[in-house]
Structure 1
C-alpha cells in the first residue's frame, strides 16, 4: 500500500469520526419532545399492533354501539373483546328454560348478537366470556329460588340451574361465531367463577345486603357450599368437551389482588387446589384473571406483587378489567389543586402496569391485558374518574400514549 492510499484512509477515518461526533452532539441537544418523536416514529398507534406477545382487549357495552367513535375504536384498537354485560346470566338466561343468544332468524341483529358480530366481522377477534357463575347479575327467577323452594331442595335446585346454564352457554358459543382455518370458536375463554371472595379472604355466602339492598353474599355458596366453585369448573370443562371445544380456557376472575394480601393468598390457594383436577384428562382451570380496577395512587409494588403471585400458579394470567381512577375512596370529584398531579401519577401507572406484566409474566403464561370499556364517558367509575385511555369525545389521552409505550418495551422476564 502506497503513501497516497494511507493518507486517504486516515483522512476518511478522521472525517467519519468528526461527522459521528457532530451527529452525537446534535442528538444530545434535541428537545425531549423531538427525541421522543424520533424514538417512537415507527411505533403503531393501534394498540393491538404494538406488541405481538400481548393481546390487548376491551370490555364493551353493546348499548354504546350507536356512538360511531366508540364502535370504531372497539373495531380498530383491540384484538380481544369482552362483553361488559351481555354474557352475564341475567342477559343470556332471563327466564327459566329460556336463553337469549340473540339469534332469532329474522334478519335483525338482536342485542346479544352485537358484540359477537363485532368480533367476528372485524378481524375475527378473540372473545373472552364474562361470566358464567357470579353472585350478581342473576335473573329474578334464580334469586326467587330462595323464597319459593323448600330449604332442603335448594342446593340441588341451584346446582341443576348452574349446570343447565353452563351447558347451554358454553355449548352455544362453542358452535357459533367461528373463524380461522380450520374454523374454530372465536370465544376462546370464560370467566367461570367471578368474585367468590370478600376482601378479608373469606368466601361470600350468607345473605349480606349492601346499602342499595343488593345481596353481596352468594346464593351459590349459601346452599351448595364451597364446592360450588369446583362444580362450576367441572361443568364448564364437561360442556366444552361435549362440544369438542378442546382448547377452551377456563378462568377464575376477581379484584383486590393488589390491595388485600389475605384475599390474594386465598385466591392463590383455591386455584392451586383446582389446578390438578381434570375432566376427561383436561384441566378444569387454565387461568386467573386480575381485574385491576386501581387508583392513581395504588402502589406499584403492590401491583407487581399481585401479578407475581398469580404468575407463580403456573396458570395463564389475564389482566382482565384494567382501568385507573383519579378518585380517592369516597370522592366524587378530584380537588382542582391536585388534578395535574393525579393525572401524572395515573399516566405513569398505565405505563408501569404494561411494563410489569411483561417483566413478570412469561410469554407462554400471558392471556393479555383487557381495558374496562373505551372512554371516560363509558367508565363504571364515572366521568370525574377519567379512568380510561380516551376522553369523553374518544380522543386519545396521555394515558393512551403511556400505555402504548409501556407495551412497546417488548420485555420478557
Structure 2
C-alpha cells in the first residue's frame, strides 16, 4: 500500500538533507547513519515481489563510496552505456564486451538481476550502422545478427532486455530511424523474435520516454504493443523511462500503467529521475520527495508493475546537468552520497517506516553592517554551521522600507520585508564547522536592530549588533 509522505516530515527532512553530514564511505557507515533506513530498498521492494533497480555507471565502479551503496540498496542493475551497440561493436565485426562483462559480473557478485539496455536504438549507434550503405535486406540481417549475438552471449544471465528503445515520436507515430527506413515497421517484431530465439527465458521489453501518463505518445505505444501481441510477437513488458521535471508527475500515471498491464504485459519504471532548477532548496526537495513517492506508489498499486529503476542514485553522477544546463539535483542521494528526502519517500512508498523527524543543526550568525551613509548601507552576513552543507538558504527580515539593491556571493531575493539568500553555484558546499558568507547593499542608511537569520529553516544564535 502506498503511504503518502507527510508534508511537515518532508519539510524537516528537506532541511536536514541540506545540513546532512558527509561520510557514509562504506556500507557500515551507511548502516550507522540514522538518515539511512534499514532494510535497504531492494529488501523493501522484494516484500511485494518487485525489484528496485539502479541505472549503473561502469566508470563509477572504481569508487568505493559508490559501490558500497550500489551493491547494497539495489536488486537490479541496468548498464547505462556499456551494452549499447556503439559500445560493444564500434567497428563492424570488432566486438568489445569489457564494460558489459564488468557490470554483469558485479551484479552476479551482489545477487542482483541485470536489465539489459539496449539492443535496437536510433542513438549511440556505431557510425557503420547509422550511416552505412546497405544492400536491400542487409540491415535486417545485420540487426538480427546483433540481437542474436548479444542476447546469446548473456543467455541465462539477463533478467530483462530493452529490445527496442524509444521507437516513437511525440505524436505516437514511429520515429524516423535507419531501421524504419531500411527495414520498415517490421523491424520491431524482427528484433523481438530474434531476442526470444537467442534466450527464451529473458523477459523482452519495449522502452520509451514521455509515455508515463495517458496522452498521444502513450496511446501510440499502446496501439503498437497491442498490434504486436495480436501478431503473436514475443513481448513481455513495457518500460516507462520517467525522466520527470519537478512537480510534473502525470496524474494519470497509475491508470496508464494499469491499461498496459491489462493487456497481460509487465510494466516497469525503467529510468526514473526528477530534475529541478538549481539551486536546490527545502521546498524543492519536499516536492521532489512527493514526486518520487508518487511514482513508486503508482508502481506498487499496479499488480503487474515489476519494479522501479532510478537512473543513477547520486547527484555526483547524473546525466542531467550537462544535458539540461542550470538543472540537476535529480536523484535520491546528494553529491556527498547522503540520502535526500526523496530517498525516505521511496522507503515509505515501498511500505517502510516513515523517517524520524530530524534534529536541526545548530548555527551561529554574525549579521554586521560594515558601512552606512545617508542613502544606503552595506551588510556582511557570516554563518557558522555545525553540520556539513550541500546547499544553503538563509532567511531573515528587514525593517519596513529597507530594500536590497544589490548582493554578492549569493542569489538573493526580497519579498516584502523577508529576504531569502541562497548559495551561488560555486559556494553551496560547506564543511561541518565551516562558515558561509555573503553580502548585500540597501537603499537606506537607517539604524535598526540586527535580524536573526535562519539557515535551512533553523534559527541561528549570536546575531551581532548593527
2:160 aligned with 1:197: no
- Of the three residues 316, 320, 329, the one matched with 1:386 is 329
Question: Partner of 1:256 in structure 2?
Answer: 210
Tell me if structure 1 keeps the 8 A contact 2:285–2:340: no
Partners of 1:340 and 1:259 lie apart in 2 by 27
Partners of 1:377 and 1:317 lie apart in 2 by 29
CA distance 1:261–1:32, shift in 2 (3 Å): closer
Equivalence map 1:250-329=2 (5 Å) = 250-258=204-212, 261-278=215-232, 284-327=234-277
Tell me if structure 2 keeps the 8 A contact 1:300–1:349: no
2:355 aligned with 1:401: no
Q: CA deviation digits over 1:206-256, x for unaligned, max 9?
A: xxxxxxxxxxxx11011211111111111111222xxxxx32110010011
The gaps in structure 2 that reach 5 residues or longer are 1-7, 14-33, 354-466
Partners of 2:178 and 2:144 lie apart in 1 by 15
Partners of 2:57 and 2:164 lie apart in 1 by 21
Q: How many residues get paired?
A: 318
CA distance 1:299–1:115, shift in 2 (3 Å): closer
TM-score when normalising by structure 1? 0.72
2:188 aligned with 1:229: yes
Deviation, 1:405, is: 0.8
Partners of 1:136 and 1:260 lie apart in 2 by 25
Partners of 1:295 and 1:66 lie apart in 2 by 30
Deviation, 1:352, is: 1.6
Name which of structure 1's ranges 375-384 and 68-77 shifts more when overlaid on structure 2. 375-384
Q: CA RMSD of the aligned region, Å?
A: 2.4
Tell me if structure 2 keeps the 8 A contact 1:287–1:318: yes
Higher strand share: 2
- Of the three residues 307, 312, 326, the one matched with 1:368 is 307
2:126 aligned with 1:139: yes
Structure of greater relative contact order (alpha carbons < 8 Å, 6+ residues apart): 2
Partners of 2:250 and 2:184 lie apart in 1 by 36
4+ aligned runs moved over 3 Å, structure 1: 40-43
The gaps in structure 1 that reach 5 residues or longer are 1-30, 103-110, 175-184, 206-217, 241-245, 328-332
Deviation, 1:203, is: 1.2
Question: Partner of 1:170 in structure 2?
Answer: 151
Partners of 1:322 and 1:276 lie apart in 2 by 30
